[in-house]
């Protein structure tokens, strides 16, 4: 996803993100909680963009009964209800599984109201214990919470140049195709003995041929330049 850059100096409040209780399969409760804790710790390195809340933060926010129920919540529907109570804009679910010595951790970030998936990261590692995936969690969380690329004015200019380049390539290709058709028609008329008609076709086709080639060259250059600007303009 690409967004236009916000005005310089814009101070946006961090979005609240609720990290739901992990759904674990063939993993001990202690190992699951260890992984959950590591995920939340990594998420709090993004405090400028996100206010990360885990189930252990609920006690002081919700009433005692709701908090007690939420601490045992391990379904997406239940977690969404808790996120709603916390007024969290986004929800992160975690699935932890192990088959033999293969560990798989899947993190999914969703927009809480629509439940649209915003990002997903997965770690798969071999190991006897949870430490097999712990080393990879900070990287996965960083990728999960990475903001969308912003498109600067330079990037917008790049899109314009790239569009003009594509149009130039299309127009050049069309003119070149027309010139080749006129050339073939001229040959047919020449073979039929109609020399005047052949000369007319050639007179029409030659400027189209050279103009088409010129547009192809200019379009390719503009497209390359626009692509470079767009690359640089993605912040």
Place of tokens 């547009």: 215
Tally DSSP H helices, then E strands, for the chain: 7, 8
Give the separation between CA 167 and CA 158, rounded to whole angstroms: 14
Co-location of 127 and 190 in the same domain: no
Structural domain contains residue 47: yes
CB atoms within 10 A of CB 145: 23
Using the predicted structure, report yes or no on whether residue 6 has a pLDDT greater than 50. no
Last residue of a domain, one of 96, 117, 148: 148
Listed in sequence order, the residues at least 6 apart from 129 whose beta carbon sits closer than 8 Å to its beta carbon are 31
Over residues 171-200, the pLDDT tens digits come to: 999 999 999 999 899 898 888 888 888 888
Structural domain contains residue 166: yes
Structural domain contains residue 178: yes
Co-location of 92 and 62 in the same domain: yes
Co-location of 157 and 134 in the same domain: no
Mean residue pLDDT across the chain = 83
Co-location of 131 and 172 in the same domain: no
Co-location of 206 and 134 in the same domain: no
Listed in sequence order, the residues at least 6 apart from 99 whose beta carbon sits closer than 8 Å to its beta carbon are 26
pLDDT of residue 202: 87
pLDDT of residue 7: 41
Co-location of 142 and 205 in the same domain: no
Last residue of a domain, one of 105, 133, 148: 148
Place of tokens 């709090």: 44
pLDDT of residue 230: 77
Give the separation between CA 230 and CA 161, rounded to whole angstroms: 9
Residue 106's CATH number = 3.40.50.10070
Co-location of 110 and 51 in the same domain: yes
Domain count, the chain: 2
Over residues 81-140, the pLDDT tens digits come to: 777 767 789 999 999 999 999 999 999 999 988 888 999 999 999 998 888 899 999 999
pTM of the prediction? 0.56
Last residue of a domain, one of 123, 148, 173: 148
pLDDT of residue 149: 60
Mean pLDDT of 22-26: 90
Return the structure tokens found at 2.
Answer: 């690409």
Co-location of 129 and 228 in the same domain: no
SS3 75: coil
Give the separation between CA 39 and CA 41, rounded to whole angstroms: 5
Report in angstroms the alpha-carbon separations of 150 from 2, 15, 117, 122, 202.
6, 17, 20, 25, 51
Listed in sequence order, the residues at least 6 apart from 5 whose beta carbon sits closer than 8 Å to its beta carbon are 150, 151, 152, 153, 235
Structural domain contains residue 4: no
Mean pLDDT of 140-151: 80
Co-location of 21 and 96 in the same domain: yes
| Residue 36, domain extent | 9-148
Return the structure tokens found at 118.
Answer: 């915003």
Pairing of strands 90-99, 102-111: antiparallel
Over residues 34-87, the pLDDT tens digits come to: 999 999 999 999 988 898 988 777 655 555 445 555 555 656 667 777 777 677
């Amino acid at each position: 996803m690409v967004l236009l850059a916000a005005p310089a100096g814009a101070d946006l409040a961090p979005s609240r993100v609720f990290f739901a209780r992990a759904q674990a399969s063939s993993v001990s409760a202690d190992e699951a909680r260890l992984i959950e804790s590591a995920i939340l710790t990594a998420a709090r390195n993004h405090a400028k963009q996100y206010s990360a809340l885990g189930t252990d933060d609920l006690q002081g926010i919700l009433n005692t009964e709701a908090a007690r129920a939420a601490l045992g919540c391990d379904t997406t529907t239940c977690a969404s209800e808790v996120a709603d109570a916390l007024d969290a804009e986004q929800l992160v679910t975690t699935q932890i599984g192990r088959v033999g010595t293969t560990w798989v951790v899947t993190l999914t970030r969703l927009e809480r109201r629509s439940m649209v998936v915003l990002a997903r990261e997965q770690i798969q590692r071999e190991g006897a214990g949870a430490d097999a995936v712990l080393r990879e969690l900070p990287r996965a969380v960083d990728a999960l919470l990475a903001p969308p690329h912003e498109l600067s004015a330079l990037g917008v200019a790049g899109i314009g140049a790239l569009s003009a380049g594509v149009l130039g390539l299309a127009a050049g290709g069309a003119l070149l195709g027309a010139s080749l058709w006129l050339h073939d028609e001229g040959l047919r008329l020449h073979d039929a003995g109609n020399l005047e008609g052949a000369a007319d076709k050639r007179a029409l086709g030659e400027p189209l041929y050279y103009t088409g080639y010129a547009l192809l060259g200019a379009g390719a250059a503009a497209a390359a330049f626009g692509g470079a600007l767009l690359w640089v303009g993605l912040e």
